[in-house]
A and B are shown apart, each in its own frame.
Chain A
Amino acid sequence: MNRAERETAVRRIMERTPPRVPPDLHADVLRRGGRMLRRRVLARRLMWLLLFAATVAFVVWAVTARPWVEPPSQTTPPLTSW
């Protein structure tokens, strides 16, 4: 028995008893798939909202704290009379 014959025999064994497809399969799939889609959309929206909130918070903090301005010196007094 060569390889091709063996494979054909195995295929025949596997194809012997096809199961019956349940009639409510499509409705079930739509229900589950729709739920999956809705969850994904919700998660995406939530992510964008979070990103937006983080950006706004950062901008507000940057404008109020101005981290790019050199802080006033604490150790040496400013030179005034030269």
Chain B
Amino acid sequence: MGQRHAAQSARRAAEFEAFVAGAGGRLLHTATLLTAEAPEDNPRARRLLTLALAHTYACWDRLRGEDPYDRARQYLATRFARGVWHHYGAFPRLRSHPGAPLARLGPQERLVLVLRLYEGVAEQQVAALLGMPMERVHAICDRATATLLHPPRRPATASVGAKVAPS
């Protein structure tokens, strides 16, 4: 009994290590895009990633065939969405790094854009995950795409921040 238990936990640890090795890089990239930090200096993205993976580790035995990557990504997205209000709300304490690819966008636009286009999550699932109607997801995604591809002339960080704040 004890031996079997030990073997099972060893197999579980190996599986989880393989999962972290495989998914860590991509999830870290996702997190860095979300927090709009520089690729080589991303403490908040690392923290998000560690929390998401730790959460996945804690419910590893109860996954029952569910995709652990999907679970980790969901946790990452909801955790970021919850933190947005604290970090960027009425009095933004954090500024996005100007060198980050999505620095011009607001946090919610980044979240929707990264989930939709970088991670390839379907519109319905994004809407369900973030608790907003599908049309809104569609509109935010379109607006973010337009802002990213055709940057406005004047420095738009302040106006983007103000536009996103009330949500």
Which A residues lie at the B interface, using CB under 8 A?
Answer: 1, 6-7, 9-11, 13-22, 25-26, 28-30, 32-34, 36-37, 40
Q: Report if B42 contacts A (CB, 8 A).
A: yes
Q: Report if B140 contacts A (CB, 8 A).
A: no
How distant is the Cα of A52 from the Cα of B101 in the complex, in angstroms?
A: 56
Report the interface size class on chain B. 20 to 34
Q: Which one of B54-62, B76-84, B125-133, B159-167 contacts A?
A: B54-62
Task: Please tell me if the beta carbons of B54 and A7 are within 8 angstroms of each other in the complex.
Answer: no
Which B residues lie at the A interface, using CB under 8 A?
Answer: 17, 20-21, 24-25, 28-29, 32-33, 39-40, 42, 45-46, 49-51, 53-58, 101-102, 113-114, 117-118, 145, 148-149
How distant is the Cα of A25 from the Cα of B72 in the complex, in angstroms?
A: 15
A11 contact set on B, CB distance < 8 A: 117-118
A36 contact set on B, CB distance < 8 A: 54-55, 57-58
A19-B45, A25-B24 are contacts. A10–B57 as well, Cβ < 8 Å?
Answer: no
